[in-house]
Amino acid sequence: METTAPTVEIEQRGEIGILTLQRPRALNALDLEMVEALAAALDRWEQDDSIRAVVLRGAGDRGFCAGGDVRGLYDTLIGDHPEQVEAFFRAEYALNARIAEYRHPIVAFADGITMGGGIGLAGHASHRLVTERSMLAMPETRIGFTPDVGGSWLLGRAAGHIGEYLALTGNTVGPADAIEAGLADRHVPRERLEAVLSELAAGADVDGAIQAVATEPAPGTLTREREWIDVAFSQPAVAEIVSALQGRLEDAARETAAHLESLPPTALAVTLEAVRRARKLPNLRAALAQEYGLVLWFGTTQPDLVEGIRAQLVDKDRSPRWNPAPGAELPADLLDQAFSFPPPTPLWS
């Protein structure tokens, strides 16, 4: 049995349901229609005992999912449609929580580019597979935003202070580092993903099917860089983190300091606090609720988000004019403003 939503292919093959994101030219970026199609399929399969597992994957050769449809978000923001912004994030976050809490195992093929909203899908699955081409990131600070879709929850649980490092810098990691950071579970060569799919469709045990083809990925960089990352990113505030990085001998540390100095100070300050608060929250739903307030605060009160998207994706001049500018002093009550922002509609009823 197979049905097709415009941008999500929904298929049952043997004993598994397969959800394939079908916007390859847009790197399978998520819009509201796709989120609703994915949620409807999960609704249909949850109580179906003929389904033993669900597979999430992306069409095309470039990646699983590059994130949310940020250009669509830009159009909504400049068009002054806050209700549409709220509707998208409520639906997306409900889907993130649903994936994490789903009755059946969900196997995510985070092959290729998997960023932002793509991590919101793959990162909360019960079985998170990366391949030799996987590139994972939460790059939101680079557009004047903050990691969401449960990204603060995942990064808050990364070993040491890897979470703060990845959240603030927005840096991309490969398969070994994604596993080290807790964003993925196993490495499977891309050419073996179809074998996993076939075994699962035939009724194989999920763990056994993955174990049969899993391999060790090529070494990453986080393990050897952990010492300076943990020292610098344990500092209490962004300015102290930058200062600690500048005092290191490692070229990568000093390059990281220069990178942070180019990013919007509002996004950096809020993101650092968000990851550290998420580390103390009881569950993913609590982290999503925190993120929901933050994303609406950014979207309705802060100019950096629109400016960041403009510079990166609209005019593509790569010259954002952050407000406040890097190096400027932030309001003393900035974090209170951000974390006490009241969403017009609660995330969880």
Show the domains of the chain with their CATH numbers: 1-349 (3.90.226.10)
Active site residue 208: no
Q: Is the dihedral of CA 290, 293, 299, 302 positive or negative?
A: negative
Residue 80: predicted pLDDT: 82
- Regarding pTM above 0.85, the answer is yes
Residue 3: predicted pLDDT: 55
Crossing angle of helices 251-260/238-246, nearest 10°? 150
Rounded alpha-carbon distances, angstroms, from residue 309 to 20, 114, 198, 318, 321:
27, 19, 40, 10, 11
Out of 58, 63, 67, 68, pick the active-site residue: 68
pLDDT block averages, 10 residues each, the chain of length 349: 73 97 96 96 95 97 94 90 91 98 98 98 98 98 98 97 98 98 98 97 97 97 96 98 98 98 98 98 98 96 96 94 95 97 89
Cβ atoms 301, 85 nearer than 8 A: no
Out of 140, 177, 185, 291, pick the active-site residue: 140
Out of 111, 148, 177, 180, pick the active-site residue: 148
Active site residue 194: no
Residue 2: predicted pLDDT: 53
Residue 6: predicted pLDDT: 81
Active site residue 68: yes
Out of 17, 58, 63, 117, pick the active-site residue: 117
* Residue 199 CB partners (closer than 8 Å, separation 6+): 209, 212
Report which of 157, 164, 113 is spatially closest to residue 270, judged by C-alpha positions.
164
Residue length of the chain:
349
Residue 115: predicted pLDDT: 98
